[in-house]
Structures are given as structure tokens and as C-alpha cells.
Chain A
């Protein structure tokens, strides 16, 4: 009850401050249009944002531990803030370098790029390098059992870490850093292949349905509707259970089946999009002109329609990649995805998940399961930043 009174009281005080701020600004700037026409809501937003910043600063400089008890909230908040600042700084440096190095085209691209997109591009490039050269970068093999379980990250012996394993070892003594690096290869690589397959299948059929229409369109669309009616993850789980039984002891077969199943399920969404985009393009006069010229279906779809559908499809590709990636991680987390002993991020989160309970008294131990989850989150955010930027660019192109 008291908390409620505090919150309402605080909001009312801020509202009063906002009103005062606006009238003061109107007086001080001699009724500049910006302040004169400012709604109270906007002024309130300024006040609220200022309050939030002040609170963050105050919280950031709270002591890390009180009487020997670590303050987990403060510690995680500091990590988050510093991580954010470092990411921004790294992205800025990355963008500045590529604004001055490279071809004219790439320089121009980076000059018009917002910081978020630069961050996304940087992370995606880093992930690509790590997953392609995983074998060279990782200090140990992904399946090697090396030492006793020691999940303390940081490698500082004073805190109980082992300098040979900077991120610690998991319950059966495998190096977590190496598994993270190999996990990039497995999870990201498989997600990429799956997304490509989904686009090949869904995109082709979608354009075909849009161009030909009629019974083919009806048939494909109703099939897709039926498939979309089943919740995706449950459908995938169901099919994976069958596939696991078929595959028997062959672990690699399970992976192939998983790729096909997820590609099929995700291709329904791609079908929907490419059909809708295709239908908008197919009514254009230039398609009619091409038809009357006597062009074949292949030319119509790939040479006339596809270039015009590229922007929305690319944006969808980025998003779809994230979803596929998360689906694989969830399937692995549930135990039917990428099979052990192969490392993948979903399984790593599951295996180490109980250590999250240590967060309140040993924050540096609780970080271990979050590493894999963080790797997933980081890539998802990065891809979305890039997709947003591409969408913005393609929408600007139309004008």
C-alpha cells in the first residue's frame, strides 16, 4: 500500500515539475514554437527520463558489497552498463575505421550507417569469423574432458578459478570457452543453413502461388494455413520425436532431420510473406509487359519480381534467422535438438541452468549459464539492428 502511494505521489510530483519546466522554458526562450506547442506528455517524458538517468547514476555508484555480502543487483547493473558502453564504443571505433578504410562504396555505406547497425554488423562479422575458424580459435576440443568441474569464471585463483580455463569447466570437466566457440559453429551454422532452406522452399512456392494464382494458389495457401494452425514449437517437438526414433543411434541424422523439419515449419511464414509481396508486384504493368513479350515463368519470377521483393525478403531473412536460431536452441534445451557431445548454446544453458541460483551470493558463478544465453541474445539483437537499418533504407528508396 505504501509503495503504491509512493509511486502515485512520485508521478504527481514529476507531472508538476514537468508543467513548471515547460512554462519556465516558454518564458526563457520567449515562446519558441518548440516549447510553445509542446504537449504536457512530452514535458513529462523529459522529466521522467531525467529522473531515470539520475537514479541509474546513483545506483551505479552504490557499494559492491555490504559487510562482506555481495550486492548482486549492483554488480549485475554495473556489468550491464559497462557492457553497453563498451559495445557502443567498440561499434563507434569499428564504424570509424570502415569510414576511412575500404572501397568508395563501402565507405559511403558506413558513413550513412547508424551506430546500432554498425554494432550489429560488427557482431555478425565476429560471429561469422568465430564459427568458421572455431577449430583454430578454440583452445581445447569441444568433447575433451580436461579437469574437474570448476565453473568459476575469470580464471583468478584467489577466487577459486583456474587460469588454464578462463571461463571455467562444466560439470564433467569440459572447457566452457571452447564449447562456446564450437557452439557458434554448430548453432549458427545450422541455423543459417535451415533459414536458407526455408527461404528457398517458401520463397519459390510463394512467388509461384502469386504469379499463377488459381487452384495452385488455393492448394498451397490452404496447406500452409493448416500447418500454421499448429503451434510451431509443439509441431517441431512432435516431428523431432518421430525423427529421433527413425534415426536410431545416428546422431548426425537427427541433425539433418531437425534442419529439414524447422525449415519446413518456417517456410510457411516465408510463403505467406513472399506471396503477399509477390501479389503486389505481379499486378504492375512491367510484369504485364514481360508476359506479353512471351517471357517464361522462371524469368518472370527471378528476373522481374525477385529484385523488387528483395528488400522485404532480406529483412524477413534476418528475423527468420533469429527465430530459427532460437527454435534450435529451445529444441536443444529440451533435449531433441543438436545431440551431445556436440556443443551448442541451448544445451549449455540447460546443463548449467541450476547455477543461476547462486546469483544472490556468488555473482561470478551465476554468470556461467548466462554466457551461452548471452551469446544467443547478442546475435539476435545484432541481427535485428541490421534488419531495422535495411528496412529503413529500403523504405527510403521508394520515395
Chain B
């Protein structure tokens, strides 16, 4: 027998919608040898997850394999009976999902869930599997390996949960693990430790893996070879180093080039000018717990201030204070030199109009029952008092401004738009109020890289044309690099460091900024190794943050 573990040939998958079967995957083939890691990248909707699941002989409801073969260690998974698959899944093929928090059963302790597979498959007794679980937790460098398994999922952090899930996948020592975007929902600093531990454990047990992600830099660290998918088609496949240095196809090159967008540096701020928004000594609390401590910064006209930090650092809370959703306990916010009422309820229409917001999740930011025309038309009518034909004309202007064909999109519902288009509508709604200042709350983090770049370019263009000021909340330093003028680093509700972008990206840094910067994966396949050598294995992520 050859050493090929998984062999997929000409796989075609169809999904059912509108009463017909539509192709999702049009002929993907792959070979995976023992101990090899295949990175699968592509935009959302490219079919990465569908192929990943099909490698386990599984399809989601309403989806079927219409053609091709999937051979796992000589077993044809397309034709295998349910009983045969039951014997394989969990035991020889395992799956690690994107959101560990949503995939663990919140009602059972981690260890109970960990041991279920081995016990059910008859691989080990409960006791053996428990001991093995603790050993795996140790190898994955989870804190308190002896004890952590006896907690409930909500009692451990997101990064730890993701590693516990990897441990669970390893519980039966499978030959193949499918990782479906395991670090996408994590902070950069947490991501590192998960990446490092996944890679270690896969190497230690000589496990094959398919690593699905949309982040090129991540895949560069993890995979031996990379396959690029686009809308269900295979674009190209090559060895990781070859792929990174010399991509063949146009599409791959465009993916590689995404991070090249960077705006020219603007002249220094005139310090004597009145800032558009000035946050002064703001301390805010949820209930009785202070979550922001004495935060102060200014945002000047025509500037973009990027606020970076991990989740929980108080970025979004600062935004809520500015909009007045969470009135600060101490301190106040000035707009154009005059103090704003603390709560949005006490602000007048003009004060509300001047500060607009664009949300992270365009799905929940747009009313699904309102057409695009209505959504954008409402602020036009509400603030500007335009009605009928004038209103329609203004909405069409706005649509043109966000680079969508006015007549085509006017009557559409949000469900008929792609993620990037929805985000553009969110921008148009903010613009409709003709504000001076816009808060962009993680506007690109839910989008694919190519689409996100388009949104960033659009925001930059609008700023140049309309002289807008942005407060740009993000955890992605690549985004900061491309769009920001000034950077504010936050940690645990405090401003750690602030200054012009150029200063921030050149040493010396505040140690926390340094940690953040060095944690951003780079497209260099050796980056993770170098970083681990520099920091030492025990000084990653949470541990490093805690030591500060």
C-alpha cells in the first residue's frame, strides 16, 4: 500500500436551493500523505469547509456528493455504510471546528466530553483516556493540565477551549484531523499559542491534517503544501514555499498582494486646532465594575485614529461612551470644542447626526425587512428633511458614492447582497447623515481579505473627498498599517501607548505594543519558528500578557 492516506478524485458536490441542485464544488482532487499538512485557503463561499467535511465522508443537510471518490486509507467514504463511517469518525478522522465555544456542550465538563470518543470507540477505558487527556493538555501547554479538564467550557478562555478541542480530536490518535478555521475567532496573541500547540502535536504524532483558513499568513506557518480554492474550483496547489514565493495564477497573486495597500503619511497635526472629538479622562463602568480607566485622546479633522487591542481591552466600550450608549461615570466628551451631553437621549438631532457609526456585523446592522432604498433613505429623510424624488435622488448619489449601481440595488433586501456589499450599505447609511465623524467598529474583520481591502480603499477615498474623521476600532494590525494616521493601543481599559502611526510601528515600543506587533503572523513560513525561539515556548499569548 502506498503512503497516501486520503485520496480525493474529481469531487463534485451539489447543494439544494430553489428546488434544484446547484453545484458547490466542481471537481476537486487532492492527495494527502501520512503526516502531511495541507492548507486550504479561499474566500468565504469558496467551498473550503464543504471539502473539509467531505473528507470525512460527511455532507451538511441539503448537500450531496454527486460525483467523484473519497478514499481514506483504502476505504471509499462515498459508498461506505453509516456503520463503517461511525467506526471511522472520531477514531481515525477527527474534526476541529471554528468556534470551540459553540461546539462544546456547555452542560458537560471538558473531560467528560474528551473521554466520550475513546470510550465509545472502545479505544481506552474511561480511566486511561482521562490520564491521556491530562497528558495531551500538558503537551498542548494548557495551564493546570491536571485540573483544567474538570471545568465546564465557560470556565476556560477561548484560546484554551480551542486547544482543549484539539486535545479532544487527538484523543483516539486519529490519522487525519480536519481543522476548520480554528484560530479565526481568536486574538493575535492567543492565536500564536494555539498555532504553536497544534503544530507541535500534529508533528509529535505524525498526524495528517487539512488546515482550512482564509488567513494566508497562518497557513504559511502550518502547512506543507497549500491548495487555493475559488468558488468551488481548484485554482492551484503547490508546496508552501513555492506557493508563497512564486504563485502561478492571477487570483493567487491578487490574494498575496492584498496587504500592499497603504495610505501616504499625512502632515503632522496642527496642535492648536480644535479636535473634532476629544475624549477627556473618561472612566466608565458596567454595573459597578469599571471597564475604562481614565481614557483620553483627541481625533482631529480628516484623520483616522485606529484603536487597537485584544478583545476585552475596552475598544468598543470607548465607542459606546462616545455615542452616548454608555454614559461615562467620570469625564466627558467634547465635539468641536463643546461638551456633548453624556447620554444619547439628551443629545439633539444635530449632535446625533454629526457622529455616525459603522458596525462589525453588517448582517445585524441592517434591518433584514427593509430595502436598501429605505435603509439609506431614512437618515436622509430624518436629518435632511428630503422627501419623494429628492430623497430618491440623494440615495442614488450615495449608492454611486459607495460604488454600487443605484438602480440595481435600490429595491434589494439585505439578504440579496454579499457581505462586502452589506458593509458598503452600512457606510452609505452613515454618510447619509453627512457627519463629520464616523466610528468604524471592526468593519473589516468579518470580511474576506480582498473584500476588506476594497472597503478600506473606499473609506480612505471618502475621507479624502469629504474630510471625515474616523475612529477605527480593530484588532488587526495589518488594517491599522494600511489606513491609520494615529494609533492608540488599549489594554484592560487603559490607553497603553498612543502616537502617529510611523512612531508606533518603529521601535522602541511599549512592551505590550511590541507583543501585539510581533504576534501578527507574517507570510514567511519560518516566522513562527523564529518567534518561538525568541520568546520561548512558555512565553506565548496569555502567559506573555499576564507577565506584564
Q: Which residues of A does B touch, CB under 8 Å?
A: 33, 36-37, 284-286, 288-289, 291-295, 304, 307-308, 310
Contacts and interface: CB of A to CB of B under 8 A. Distances in A.
Contacts of B361: 285
B418 to A, nearest CB: 16
Prevailing SS type, chain A contact patch: helix
9 contacts: A284-B364, A285-B365, A286-B365, A286-B366, A289-B365, A291-B325, A294-B352, A294-B382, A308-B369
A293 B352 contact: yes
B20 interface: no
Given A33-B81, A37-B82, A288 B368 contact: no
A148 to B, nearest CB: 60
A33 B325 CA distance: 57
A37 B80 CA distance: 10
A308 B367 contact: yes
B370 A292 contact: no
A13 to B, nearest CB: 27
A289 B357 CA distance: 8
B368 A308 contact: yes
B152 interface: no
Contacts of B58: none
B425 to A, nearest CB: 11
B429 interface: yes
Most chain A CB within 10 A, of B79, B357, B369, is at: B369
Contacts of A284: 364-365, 367
**10 interchain residue pairs of minimum CB distance:** A307-B369, A285-B365, A37-B82, A286-B367, A285-B359, A294-B352, A285-B364, A284-B364, A294-B349, A308-B369
Interface string B283-327: 000000000000000000000000000000000000000011100
Contacts of A310: 369
Interface in B402-456: 429, 433
Contacts of B365: 284-286, 289
Most buried by B among A37, A289, A294: A289
B509 to A, nearest CB: 34
Nearest to B351: A294
A293 B325 contact: no
- Name the residue among B324, B361, B364 with the largest chain A CB count within 10 angstroms: B364
B359 A289 contact: yes
Interface string B332-344: 0000000000001
B324 to A, nearest CB: 8
Given A294-B349, A307-B370, A37 B81 contact: yes
B379 interface: yes
A292 B344 contact: yes
Interface string B348-379: 01001000010101001111111000000011
B379 A292 contact: no
Contact of B382 (A33, A286, A288, A295): A295
Given A292-B324, A294-B382, A310-B369, 15 more contacts: A33-B81, A37-B82, A284-B365, A286-B364, A288-B325, A292-B352, A293-B378, A293-B379, A293-B383, A293-B433, A294-B344, A295-B382, A304-B367, A307-B370, A308-B368
Contacts of B366: 286
Interface in B28-87: 79, 81-83
Contacts of A307: 367, 369-370
A200 B391 CA distance: 33
Contacts of B352: 292-294
Contacts of B429: 289
A289 B352 CA distance: 11
B337 to A, nearest CB: 22
A307 B357 CA distance: 23
B345 to A, nearest CB: 9
Contacts of B368: 308
Contacts of A294: 344, 347, 349, 352, 382
B347 to A, nearest CB: 8
Interface string B447-484: 00000000000000000000000000000000000000
Contacts of B383: 293
Contact of B357 (A33, A292, A295, A304): A292
